[in-house]
Chains A and B, each alone.
Chain A
Amino acid sequence: MQSFIKVENLTKSYGGLKAIEEITLEIRKGEILSLVGDNGAGKSTFVKTLAGAQLPDSGHIEIDGEDVRLDSPKKAGFYGIGCLHQGLGLIDTLNVPENVFLGRELQKKVLGIFPQLDYQRMRTETRDLLNQFSIKLPKLNDAVVNLSGGQRQTIAISRLLLQKVKLVIMDEPMAALGVEEGSKVFNLIEKMRSENVSVLIISHNLEHVLKLSDRIAVMKNGKLIKVLEAQNTSREEVVKLITFGLS
């Protein structure tokens, strides 16, 4: 598998505390990489640097062979990195196409002059996108507040896919979802992989991590201690690494 993003010796401190230290890792195209570790292991800090939410103190980030400086979420988006926060960033009062297309609306001209939202096209394209990923929603015109947690999750993911992202960062994607809803999101993540989209998942749910991931990166005390091939590892080994590190 080709590499999409490579980070080298990434370090970030808050005051005297090193949140992440000398992290070197690559994320390959079309792979699902899970990031695991105890609270305070540095997972969120590492992800924030990839998402453009904060700059590292030192180290390099390379995307498709180009050295980049991700100094804003917008810049990260420019390089094809999309982040799915736990709050999902949806607007409850807007409907599905409005949420999916917010910030990149489709428009048409009325009377040849006045730009107007092209709701019909936005609905059709949303439907097509959802179909492409086998997502079924009863009504697109409903305010998203009326949808279930899983449906909201899929809308948030759809929005990223519409932006043709190459790497989706997901923070606890299955948290607060029921079994059925979780499995739908699960399928969606696998579908993204089949479309050659890379997925970086932060999760505490090792069952999901082992089932879903191609590789598992274990962090402890701000350091990346090991990257495991998911199919050649066991839950016990991961737990051991999270708890005791390499010792």
Chain B
Amino acid sequence: MSDSLIGNADKKWLFQGLGLTIVVIILAILFSLINPKFATITNLLNVLTQASYYIILAVGMTFVIAAAGIDLSVGSLLALITVVTFELIKNGLDPILGVLLMFLMGGTLGAFTGYLISYINIPPFIATLGIMVSLRGLALVHSAGKMHYGLPESLTWIGQGDIIGIPVPVLISLIFALFGAWLFNKTKFGLHARSIGGNREAARLAGVNVKLVEILVYSFMGLSVALGGLIMITRIDSTQATIGTSMEIHVIAAVIIGGTSLFGGKGTVYGTLMGAILLSMMTNALVIAGVDYFWQLFIMGIIVLIAVTINNIRDKRFLFNSKP
């Protein structure tokens, strides 16, 4: 893979990314042999479309986890900003302004989460757990549990349109993943996020503005939620306060399967992309095979546990190799 596509950090863990790509290809072949319906172009594009918002959120989550953080609030944030925006647009707000507002809310609320973590020193797990519950509550208060639907066509094109046969969500998610890989590997922001995850104190002593970078990392996560949310609601042309429930598990799983260390400091956006595609592919295969939704949840949970175990084994080996 060329330098421009896979940057410094990604190159270091390329083997892992390639390994995952091989797993994705083998599974795709296996699913196709079991059920020929899986192998159709329409279904594969459908898998990628379903994966698109997970890819976008998982790219943001790669930065968070690489910076030794976690964000459990992504599903709730998505719910709140989509119900608020949806209702405003339905009440006559210009769709472009509505979309801008959605990004503004996502970025600002993400930055607030980052502030709680970096300045108030609340551990990321607890801070985002609190935010998760609060935002879900706000979303429910705002929409009183009702379903919103009927966006203008100019917006639904984002989720339902295609360009030369390729669904717009797929294109957006792939472009965003490329942008994410560039940001992660080739920019000061990405390097600083990885350095904080690697050794927060050493990064601070080296002159990295740790607190600011943490706020920016969570703000970028919020912006990713806004973009993913935009694709999600324009694809299904509806939203409600319960949208995105348990989404964080899927997103975190994609990042971990993709090889980003739960201890922080290292990861790859390419691996995350593959992780998100792998999960969507499995969900799709289970649906085609007629597996009950509740069993799907069970299987997804098992996959997450396996991914975390593999991640732990790899990182323990890594830590064991650490020099004093």
Which residues in A have some Cβ–Cβ distance to B below 8 Å?
Answer: 73-74, 87, 89-95, 98, 102-105, 107, 115-117, 119, 141, 143, 145-149, 152, 159, 176
Contact = CB atoms under 8 A, between A and B. Distances in A.
B208 A103 contact: yes
B2 interface: no
Given A93-B265, A152-B323, A102 B206 contact: yes
Contacts of A87: 202, 324
B8 interface: yes
Contacts of B182: 116
A25 B318 CA distance: 44
B90 interface: no
B324 A102 contact: no
B194 interface: yes
B223 to A, nearest CB: 17
B323 A148 contact: yes
B323 A107 contact: no
Contact of A93 (B187, B198, B201, B208): B198
B265 A92 contact: yes
Nearest to A103: B207
Contacts of A119: 8, 186
Contact of B187 (A116, A152, A176): A116
Given A93-B265, A95-B12, A119-B8, A73 B323 contact: no
A119 to B, nearest CB: 6
B203 A92 contact: no
Given A143-B12, A149-B323, A176-B324, A94 B195 contact: yes
A70 B84 CA distance: 52
B206 A147 contact: no
A149 B324 contact: yes
A102 B318 CA distance: 22
B311 to A, nearest CB: 14
Contacts of B206: 89, 91, 102-103, 159
Contact of B195 (A102, A117, A146, A148): A102
Interface residues of B, number: 28
B121 interface: no
Contact of A102 (B186, B191, B323): B191
B269 to A, nearest CB: 15
A146 B321 contact: yes
A148 B208 CA distance: 25
A105 B198 contact: no
Given A98-B191, A102-B208, A90 B202 contact: yes
Interface string B234-265: 00000000000000000000000000010001
B205 A89 contact: yes
Contact of B202 (A91, A95, A105, A115): A91
Nearest to B264: A93
A173 B244 CA distance: 53
A225 to B, nearest CB: 32
Given A102-B208, A104-B207, A117 B265 contact: no
Contacts of B201: 89
A143 B203 CA distance: 15
B12 A141 contact: yes
Contact of A115 (B188, B322, B323): B188
A126 to B, nearest CB: 13
B199 interface: yes
A152 B11 CA distance: 22
Interface string B246-289: 00000000000000010001100000000000000000000000
B202 A145 contact: no
Given A94-B194, A117-B188, A117-B191, 18 more contacts: A89-B201, A89-B205, A90-B199, A91-B199, A91-B206, A92-B199, A92-B322, A93-B261, A102-B191, A103-B207, A115-B187, A115-B188, A119-B8, A143-B266, A145-B321, A145-B322, A146-B321, A176-B324
Contacts of A74: 207
B197 interface: yes
B12 A91 contact: no
A145 to B, nearest CB: 5
A43 B12 CA distance: 41
Contacts of B318: 145
The 5 closest A-B pairs by CB, nearest first: A103-B207, A93-B265, A91-B198, A93-B198, A103-B206
Nearest to A98: B191
A87, A103, A176 pick with most chain B CB within 10 angstroms: A103
A74 B205 CA distance: 8
Interface in B195-223: 195, 197-199, 201-203, 205-208
Interface in B3-55: 8, 11-12
Given A149-B323, A176-B324, A92 B186 contact: no
Contact of B203 (A73, A91, A105): A91
A147 B188 CA distance: 24
B172 to A, nearest CB: 19
A91 to B, nearest CB: 4
Contacts of A143: 12, 266
